[in-house]
Amino acid sequence: MNMLDAEFVKGFMRTAEDGWLQGWHERNGGNLSYRVKPEEVESVREELSPGEWRPIGAAVPRLAGEYFLVTGSGKYFRNVTIKPEDSFCLIELDGEGENYRICWGLVNGGRPTSELPTHLMNHEVKLAAAGGKHRVIYHAHPANIIALTFALPPTSEAFTRELWEMATECPVVFPDGIGVVPWMVPGGREIAVATSELMKEYDVAVWAHHGLFCSGEDFDLTFGLMHTVEKSAEILVKLRSMQPYKRQTIRPDDFRDLAKDFKVELPERYLYEKND
């Protein structure tokens, strides 16, 4: 089958396009990866021509031999549907999970995203933590969540509780809360270790003054998670632009009632007493 006709590739391209349309991907901002199923790899096998092995920059032994679709470093989400062969690639990992090779795409040269260590370390954590169901890791630069990293304490407690309060669906969509990585230099192993540590507990990790990482089972769920978090952040930014306080809000006991009806577990550490 032609790569661009495969459903998993179409889903990848649509997600990138949707992110672009949301305004989350200025220039080359953001990156996307998908852990490809074995039968999907087989369906496009004749399209693949493996190149040279190159170091990942991190060791991910549990992902040995896996294939990933991943956006290219310096490539624009704007162009993913316009020139797909130039904008992303399919990579294969070696038997140690230390090297990758490009099997399709990036026809004009280049390499996978500079955040490949974070993507792969997150995939590795999710393979263990989420029963192997998660396949998508998505990084974007949504303006409202980034704005909040200058205004809220950089803690999981503050981000989770404030965003839960801004839209009733939030505790149901991300009941485990949100992790926060303090500002760090992007693109390396150190930020990958910090992020993947948080991904053991959360499906969402904020990068202070930079953006957001989301993990999910498929493109819809992962995009929907990013969208829900950012929309909630937008409501909080709007509220704070009107007035510094909330006249009324959702209270801890309201969350407890919601948890019962929607059959989610909301950790008590987010349901602390506060004045607004």
Q: Which residues bind ligand 13P (CB under 6 A)?
A: 28-31, 71, 73-74, 113-115, 139, 186
Shortest approach of ligand 13P to residue 96 CB, angstroms? 24
Quick check: helix, strand or coil at residue 159?
helix
Mapping DSSP to helix (H, G, I), strand (E, B) and coil, where does residue 200 land? coil
- Reduce the DSSP state of residue 206 to 3 states and report it: strand
**By C-beta, is 30 or 105 nearer to Zn ion?**
30
212-235 residues labelled b (16+ CB within 10 A) or e (exposed): bbbbbbbbebbbebbbbbbbbbbe
Instruction: Pick what 73 binds: ligand 13P, Zn ion, none; C-beta below 5 to 8 Å, kind-dependent.
Output: ligand 13P
By beta-carbon proximity to ligand 13P, the closer residue of 186 and 224 is 186
- Asked if residues 164 and 171 have their Cβ atoms less than 8 Å apart, the reply is yes
**Which of 126, 271, 263 lies closest to 205 in space, CA to CA?**
126
Burial class from Cβ neighbours inside 10 Å (0-12, 13-18, 19+) for residue 57 reads middle
Per partner kind, with CB cut-offs from 5 to 8 A, the member of ligand 13P, Zn ion, none near residue 113 is ligand 13P
Backbone φ, ψ for residue 126 (5° rounding): -70, -30
Site for Zn ion in 114-143 (CB under 5 A): none
The option from Zn ion, ligand 13P, none interacting with 175 (CB < 5 to 8 A, set by class) reads none
Compute the least distance from the CB of residue 116 to ligand 13P, in Å. Answer: 8
Residue 115 is among the residues annotated as catalytic for this protein: yes
Q: Which does 74 bind (CB under 5 to 8 A by kind): ligand 13P, Zn ion, none?
A: ligand 13P
Total residues binding Zn ion (CB under 5 A): 1
Tell the smallest beta-carbon distance from residue 138 to ligand 13P (Å): 11
**Which positions from 48 through 107 interact with Zn ion, judged by CB under 5 A?**
none
Coil, strand or helix at 207 = strand
The site partner of 31 among Zn ion, ligand 13P, none (C-beta below 5 to 8 Å per kind) is: ligand 13P
Residue located via tokens 């949504």: 142
Question: In Å, what is the CA distance from 140 to each residue of 46, 88, 143, 145, 265?
Answer: 32, 16, 9, 10, 27
Residue whose CB is less far from ligand 13P, 139 or 161: 139
| Residue with nearest beta carbon to Zn ion | 211
Tell the smallest beta-carbon distance from residue 74 to Zn ion (Å).
12
Instruction: Return the number of the residue (134 or 139) whose C-beta is nearest ligand 13P.
Output: 139
SS3 state at 89: strand
Rule CB under 5 A: which of 195-234 touch Zn ion? 211
The continuous run of DSSP H or E covering 156 comes out as helix 156-166
Residue 258 Cβ vs Zn ion, minimum distance, rounded to whole Å: 33
Which of 40, 66, 92, 115 does the annotation list as catalytic? 115
Q: Which residues are catalytic?
A: 115
User: Using CB under 5 A as the criterion, which residues of the chain lie in contact with Zn ion when the complex forms?
Assistant: 211
